[in-house]
Amino acid sequence: MAHQSKRMRAIAEKIDAGRVYGIEEAVTLLNEVSGLSRLAESFDVAVNLGVDPRKSDQVVRGATTLPHGSGKEVRVAVFAQGDKAEEAEGAGADLVGLDDLAERVKGGEIEFDVAIAAPDAMRVVGQLGRILGPRGLMPNPRTGTVTADVAAAVKNAKAGQVQFRADRGGIVHGSVGKVGFEPVQVRENVEALIADLKKAKPPAAKGQFVRKITLSTTMGPGVRIDEASLEV
């Protein structure tokens, strides 16, 4: 409890909950506060969007490539066979297969962060929707995870490409780095995400699209970010 109290006191002293911060100042402060934690924490962003996700024409979904990666190792599974399976293995996929891999998923073995499928594998992958869908792992052409070029998709995922989708509250959540990243690295990662979110704005969405950006650490407070501090 003493450790927790020290951490909470430091947060209260350094971070003004009612203030809007420039992105790099926020990263600096959160890095300082997280130095009191023994856990390996991530920088997480929440972006409130001006959409109504209940309407089918206002779904926000896509992918972005973080220029500095997320700071964590990404395990990639590829559903493919024949030449496509060989291409995926050559590109560094962690798990490759089709019926055998699908059976493992059905059995609860979901040991990957990204799932990619060759187009002809969707006959099998389509049966896994109830398992992969709720976890945000279902391959989809709109995010580049159903593709004939499985090798490029694997390389993109390993290089820091992440998928995004607005939740029921119209909020997109994502990890944009590890605590200890330089402020400019986190800023550029957030800028990449915001830029691709804006490209994914549904035509039916009216008014201000990006309404609020909040940056936090895994165990830390949320800090509201001034969008003007981002070059997007």
pLDDT score at 51: 96
pLDDT surpasses 50 at 156: yes
Domain co-membership, 170 together with 221: yes
Domain co-membership, 88 together with 105: yes
pLDDT surpasses 80 at 68: yes
Neighbours of 72 (CB within 10 A): 13
pLDDT score at 142: 85
pLDDT surpasses 90 at 16: no
pLDDT score at 1: 46
pLDDT score at 4: 53
pLDDT surpasses 60 at 36: no
Whether residue 8 is contained in a domain is answered as: no
What residues form DSSP beta bridges with 210? 49
Whether residue 217 is contained in a domain is answered as: yes
pLDDT band of 7, cuts 50, 70, 90? low
Considering only residues 101 and 14, tell me which one the structure prediction assigns the higher pLDDT.
101
pLDDT score at 37: 59
pLDDT score at 204: 94
pLDDT score at 35: 66
Asked whether the beta carbons of 131 and 105 are under 8 A apart, the reply is yes
Residue 209 CA to residue 50 CA, distance in Å, equals 5
Domain boundary among 133, 159, 185: 159
**pLDDT per position as a tens digit, 78-113:** 999 999 999 999 999 999 999 999 999 999 999 999
**pLDDT per position as a tens digit, 162-193:** 889 999 999 999 999 999 999 999 999 999 99
Domain boundary among 125, 141, 159: 159
Query: Which range marks the domain in which residue 27 is found?
Result: 19-69+162-229
**pLDDT per position as a tens digit, 185-226:** 999 999 999 999 999 999 999 999 999 999 999 888 899 999
CATH of the domain at 115: 3.40.50.790
- What would the 3-class secondary structure string for 61-93 be? EEEEECCCCCCCCCCEEEECCHHHHHHHHHCCC
Whether residue 97 is contained in a domain is answered as: yes
Whether residue 9 is contained in a domain is answered as: no
pLDDT score at 81: 97
Domain co-membership, 80 together with 155: yes
Domain co-membership, 118 together with 142: yes
Element (H, E) at 25: helix 23-34
DSSP β-ladder status, 61-65 and 210-217: unpaired
CATH of the domain at 42: 3.30.190.20
Contacts (Cβ under 8 Å, ≥6 apart) of 114: 74, 75, 76, 77, 137, 145, 157, 163
Whether residue 12 is contained in a domain is answered as: no
